[in-house]
């Protein structure tokens, strides 16, 4: 049996309907693919979910012999039902927690979070001044201030009810408070089970994991958990060490990582080609139960650009969590305390004379690509998204500037033009002001996925 490619898409915030995200994604990425012959997809029952709302979209095309063949299976991980019932109180608590932080906390986000913080507090102060002016300065009937107050409450209630539908998911998932732990666990466990089932099915040669919006944070967490489950590639209950071919690739990756951390010229293309080759070699270190098939991690419109804010209590806390391998980085974080002579300080550990990739080295074989729309003035572009490479580099000497090219490939798309809000347009065909088709962002996604 010819193995296929599996694409798993994890949707973002909002009251999503099952299969809504994946159908639009497959239509543009696959069905309209100019490099394929007579592409189509069928909606088939899936064996990987326990609910009847989940389906598998099987992508077909005609091969060189003119025969119709199944090339790729598209799966959507649907999780919106897990956050249903989020209260406005939970949203307010999360949002106020962000806004009550000092403005300096957002110094790394001078064009997005800092202006948003200033606008929020400016509007709050202005509202208070208007209320005081109406109550104590003007010699008017108290009915007017009461009307203004009532109108203000109505507007706030309206905004909260509608905002909760979209940002409530972020409030529940990104905040590890006691009332959110059960929800976070359920979301991650279902995604983990799906990916593990796909890996163990024997149907696929590789898996591409795509996360949109908040779904990219879910995907990052689950990718880390799955790697921690599989990274020793156990065969018959015993861990399988890296062979000489893998070690040779790891040594080359380490040399390029040293260039990066020392501020020397860094070849991103060579690094990512080595990651791909390491992925291929790791597929040899497997049996039917423990192996690794995820080759690419693609984040689209990702709030991971604010990881230091959303995933940690402070800048120092975020740095510490990366250093102690709680959060995987690209390239993997170094082993502190090992001597300089150790040949693979970032990627491996040694035990009984053998080398193993460590539990946080998922981005040794997995290539990370990030697609975002640059934002400005809090209106243009996608304020939710941005570059992620500077957040997820392994810690470097503060005196060495972070280069433009890192192991994470960054793609800025949808720059300028309409529409203003682009967070949901990353795989949608757009029109320019002159009515021309705008699909360069779709071409980039196709190029990254290499279907």
- In the numeric block, the tokens 């309209």 are attached to 32
Q: What SS3 class is residue 325?
A: coil
Supply φ then ψ for residue 383, to 5 degrees: -65, -20
Instruction: For residue 15, give the DSSP letter.
Output: S
Q: Domain check: are 53 and 97 in the same one?
A: no
| Domain finish residue from 174, 191, 209 | 174
Q: Domain check: are 289 and 330 in the same one?
A: yes
pLDDT of residue 52: 66
Pairing of strands 40-45, 204-212: unpaired
Q: Domain check: are 224 and 111 in the same one?
A: no
Spatial separation of the C-alpha atoms in residues 422 and 419, rounded to whole Å: 6
Q: 144 preceded by cis ω (within 30°)? A: no
Spatial separation of the C-alpha atoms in residues 263 and 207, rounded to whole Å: 33
Q: What is the mean pLDDT of residues 362-378?
A: 91
Q: Domain check: are 230 and 187 in the same one?
A: yes
Spatial separation of the C-alpha atoms in residues 382 and 386, rounded to whole Å: 8
Q: Domain check: are 161 and 258 in the same one?
A: no
Q: Calculate the average pLDDT of the chain.
A: 81
Spatial separation of the C-alpha atoms in residues 451 and 317, rounded to whole Å: 39
- In the numeric block, the tokens 């004379």 are attached to 353
Supply φ then ψ for residue 348, to 5 degrees: -125, 165
Q: Domain check: are 271 and 393 in the same one?
A: yes
pLDDT in tens, 43-62: 887 777 766 667 888 888 87
| Domain finish residue from 137, 158, 174 | 174
Structure tokens belonging to residue 449:
């996925």
Spatial separation of the C-alpha atoms in residues 297 and 12, rounded to whole Å: 15
Q: Domain check: are 183 and 299 in the same one?
A: yes
pLDDT in tens, 121-172: 887 788 777 767 766 665 555 555 555 555 555 455 445 454 555 666 677 7
Smallest CA-to-CA distance from 369 within 218, 208, 198, 199 is with 208
pLDDT of residue 9: 95
Q: Domain check: are 298 and 184 in the same one?
A: yes
- In the numeric block, the tokens 């060495």 are attached to 400
Q: Domain check: are 224 and 364 in the same one?
A: yes
Q: Domain check: are 144 and 250 in the same one?
A: no
| Domain finish residue from 174, 192, 227 | 174
Instruction: Give the domain extent around 101.
Output: 88-174
* Greater pLDDT, 30 or 137: 30
DSSP string computed for 272-322: HHHHHHHHHHHTTS--SSS---EEEEEEES-GGGGHHHHS-SSHHHHHHHH
Please state, as a whole number, how many other Cβ atoms lie within 10 Å of the Cβ of residue 35: 9
pLDDT tier for residue 371 given thresholds of 50, 70 and 90 = very high
pLDDT in tens, 373-395: 988 777 788 888 999 998 998 76
pLDDT tier for residue 226 given thresholds of 50, 70 and 90 = very high
Tell me: pLDDT of 40 over 80: no
Number of domains within the chain: 2
Structure tokens belonging to residue 354:
């053998």
Q: Domain check: are 391 and 322 in the same one?
A: yes
Smallest CA-to-CA distance from 5 within 66, 56, 73 is with 73
Tell me: pLDDT of 75 over 90: yes
Spatial separation of the C-alpha atoms in residues 226 and 77, rounded to whole Å: 15
Q: Check: CB of residue 363 under 8 Å from CB of residue 332.
A: yes
User: pTM for this structure?
Assistant: 0.89
pLDDT tier for residue 80 given thresholds of 50, 70 and 90 = confident
> Which strand (E) or helix (H) includes residue 224?
helix 214-230
């Amino acid at each position: 049996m010819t193995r296929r490619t599996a694409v798993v898409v994890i949707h973002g915030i909002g009251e999503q309907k099952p299969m809504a995200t994946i159908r639009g994604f497959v239509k543009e990425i696959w069905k309209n693919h100019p490099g394929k012959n007579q592409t189509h997809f069928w909606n088939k029952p899936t064996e990987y979910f326990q609910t009847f709302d989940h389906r598998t979209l099987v992508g077909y095309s005609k091969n060189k012999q003119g025969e119709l063949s199944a090339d790729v299976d598209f799966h959507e991980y649907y999780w919106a039902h897990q956050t249903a019932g989020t209260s406005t109180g939970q949203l307010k608590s999360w949002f106020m927690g962000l806004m009550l932080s000092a403005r300096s906390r957002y110094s790394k986000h001078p064009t997005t979070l800092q202006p948003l913080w200033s606008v929020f507090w400016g509007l709050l102060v202005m509202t208070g001044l208007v209320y005081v002016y109406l109550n104590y300065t003007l010699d008017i009937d108290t009915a007017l201030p009461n009307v203004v107050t009532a109108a203000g409450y109505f507007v706030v209630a309206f905004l909260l009810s509608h905002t909760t539908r979209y940002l409530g998911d972020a409030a529940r998932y990104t905040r590890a408070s006691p009332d959110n732990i059960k929800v976070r666990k359920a979301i991650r466990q279902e995604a983990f089970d799906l990916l593990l089932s796909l890996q163990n099915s024997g149907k696929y040669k590789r898996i591409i994991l795509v996360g949109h919006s908040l779904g990219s944070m879910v995907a990052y967490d689950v990718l880390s958990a799955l790697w921690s489950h599989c990274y020793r590639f156990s065969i018959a209950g015993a861990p399988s060490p890296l062979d000489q071919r893998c070690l040779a690739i790891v040594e080359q990756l380490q040399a390029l990582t040293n260039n990066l951390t020392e501020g020397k010229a860094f070849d991103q293309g060579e690094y990512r080609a080595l990651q791909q080759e390491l992925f291929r070699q790791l597929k040899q270190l497997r049996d039917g139960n423990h192996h690794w098939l995820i080759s690419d991690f693609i984040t689209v419109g990702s709030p991971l650009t604010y990881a230091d804010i959303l995933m940690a209590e402070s800048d120092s806390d975020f740095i510490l969590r990366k250093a102690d391998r709680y959060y995987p980085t690209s390239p993997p974080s170094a082993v502190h305390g090992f001597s300089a002579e150790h040949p693979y300080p970032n990627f491996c550990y040694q035990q009984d004379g053998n080398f193993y990739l460590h539990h946080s080295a998922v981005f040794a074989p997995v290539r990370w690509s990030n697609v975002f729309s640059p934002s400005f003035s809090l209106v243009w572009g996608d304020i939710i998204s941005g570059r992620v490479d500077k957040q997820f580099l392994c810690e470097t000497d503060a005196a060495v500037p972070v280069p433009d090219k890192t192991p994470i490939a960054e793609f800025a798309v949808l720059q300028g033009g309409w529409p203003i809000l682009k967070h949901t347009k990353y795989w949608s065909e757009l029109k320019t002001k002159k009515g021309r088709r705008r699909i360069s962002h779709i071409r980039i996604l196709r190029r990254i996925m290499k279907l």
